[in-house]
Chain A
Amino acid sequence: MQGLARFLTYRLARMVVALWCVVTVVFIVMRLSGDPVPLLLPPDAPIADMERLRSEMGLDRPIYIQYGVFVRQALKGDFGRSIHFRTSAMTVVWERIPATLELAFASFLCAVVVAIPAGVLSAIKRGGTYDNIVMGVALVGQAAPTFYIGIMLILVCSLWLGLFPTSGRGDWRHMVLPAVTLGAFAMASIARITRSAVLEILRADFIRTARAKGLPEFWTIAKHTMRNAAIPIITIVGLQFGNLLGGAVITETIFSWPGIGRLAIQSIYSRDYPIVQSVVFMTAVMFVVLNLLVDVAYGILDPRIRR
Chain B
Amino acid sequence: MLRDGRITRRGFLAGAAGLLGSMAAAEGLWARVAGAQATSKNTLVIGQSSDISKLDPHLSTTVNDIAVTFNLYDNLLSRHHDGKLYPSAATEWKLVNPTTWQFKLRQGLKFHNGDPLTSADVKFSFERTYDPKAKTNVMSVLNTIERVDAPDSLTVSIVTKKPDPLIAARTAFYAGQIMPKGYFEKVGADEFNAKPIGSGPVKFTSWVKDDRLVLDANKDYWGGKIDVDQIIFRPIPELAARIAALVKGEVDLITKIPPDQMDRVAKASNTKIEGVLYGGLYCLSVVSQKPPLDSKPFRQAMSLSIDRETIVKELWRGQGAVPNSIVVKGDNHYDPSLPPLPYDPNRAKQLIKESNYKGEELVIETGVGFTVLDREMGEVIVAMWKDVGINAKLELIEYSVYLQKIREKSFKGLRWTDPTSAYNDPDGMMWRHLSPGGPNAYWFRNARFDELGNAARFSVDEKLRDEAYKEMTRLELEYLPLIPIIQPMELYGLQKYVDWKPYANQTMEFRRFNLKLNRG
B241 within 8 A of partner (CB): yes
Contacts of A169 in B (CB 8 A): 211
- Contact indicator B135/A154 (Cβ below 8 Å): no
Q: Which 8 A-B pairs have the closest CB atoms?
A: A258-B210, A38-B407, A258-B211, A166-B244, A254-B238, A166-B245, A167-B241, A160-B29
Q: How many residues of B contact A (CB 8 A)?
A: 55
- Contact indicator A158/B53 (Cβ below 8 Å): no
A159's partner among B15, B32, B212, B401 (CB-CB below 8 A) is B32
B140 within 8 A of partner (CB): yes
- Alpha-carbon gap, A306 to B234, bound state (A): 51
Contacts of B406 in A (CB 8 A): 38, 43
Binds B, one of A84-92, A277-285, A296-304: A84-92
B404 within 8 A of partner (CB): yes
- Total cross-chain contacts (CB, 8 A): 134
A254's partner among B11, B190, B211, B241 (CB-CB below 8 A) is B241
A86's partner among B4, B137, B190, B399 (CB-CB below 8 A) is B190
- Alpha-carbon gap, A165 to B241, bound state (A): 10
Instruction: Tell me the A242-290 residues at the B interface (CB within 8 Å).
Output: 253-256, 258-259, 262-263, 269-271
A136 within 8 A of partner (CB): yes
Contacts of B237 in A (CB 8 A): 253, 256, 262
A16 within 8 A of partner (CB): no
- Contact indicator A44/B29 (Cβ below 8 Å): no
Given contacts A42-B139, A166-B244, A254-B241, 14 further A-B contacts (CB under 8 A): A39-B400, A41-B137, A45-B139, A87-B194, A135-B2, A147-B238, A151-B238, A152-B26, A154-B240, A168-B234, A168-B245, A256-B236, A258-B211, A269-B398
B483 within 8 A of partner (CB): no
Q: How far is the CB of B29 from chain A (nearest CB, A)?
A: 5
Instruction: Tell me the B2-48 residues at the A interface (CB within 8 Å).
Output: 2, 4-5, 7, 11, 15, 22, 26, 29-30, 32-33
B447 within 8 A of partner (CB): no
Contacts of A162 in B (CB 8 A): 33, 248
Given the interface pairs A135-B5, A140-B15, the reply to whether A39 lies near B403 with Cβ below 8 Å is: yes
Given the interface pairs A43-B439, A167-B236, A269-B400, the reply to whether A155 lies near B140 with Cβ below 8 Å is: no
- Alpha-carbon gap, A236 to B210, bound state (A): 31
Contacts of B210 in A (CB 8 A): 96, 256, 258-259, 262-263
Could you show 10 A-B contacts with beta carbons less than 8 Å apart?
A43-B407, A87-B190, A154-B241, A159-B29, A159-B30, A159-B248, A167-B241, A168-B211, A168-B234, A256-B238
Contacts of B208 in A (CB 8 A): 95, 258
Q: How far is the CB of B342 from chain A (nearest CB, A)?
A: 31
- Contact indicator B140/A44 (Cβ below 8 Å): yes
- Contact indicator B439/A95 (Cβ below 8 Å): no
Q: How far is the CB of A192 from chain B (nearest CB, A)?
A: 9
Contacts of A35 in B (CB 8 A): 404
B235 within 8 A of partner (CB): yes
B2, B4, B11, B399: most-surrounded residue (chain A CB, <10 A): B2
Given the interface pairs A160-B29, A167-B241, the reply to whether A136 lies near B135 with Cβ below 8 Å is: no
Contacts of A147 in B (CB 8 A): 238
Given the interface pairs A43-B406, A95-B209, A158-B248, the reply to whether A136 lies near B1 with Cβ below 8 Å is: yes
- Contact indicator A44/B241 (Cβ below 8 Å): no
- Alpha-carbon gap, A147 to B212, bound state (A): 23
A140: nearest chain-B partner, CB-CB: B15
Interface string of B418-441 (1 = CB under 8 A from A): 000000000000000000011100
Contacts of B438 in A (CB 8 A): 44
Contacts of B247 in A (CB 8 A): 159
- Alpha-carbon gap, A42 to B29, bound state (A): 43
A217 within 8 A of partner (CB): no
Contacts of A102 in B (CB 8 A): none
Q: How far is the CB of A209 from chain B (nearest CB, A)?
A: 28
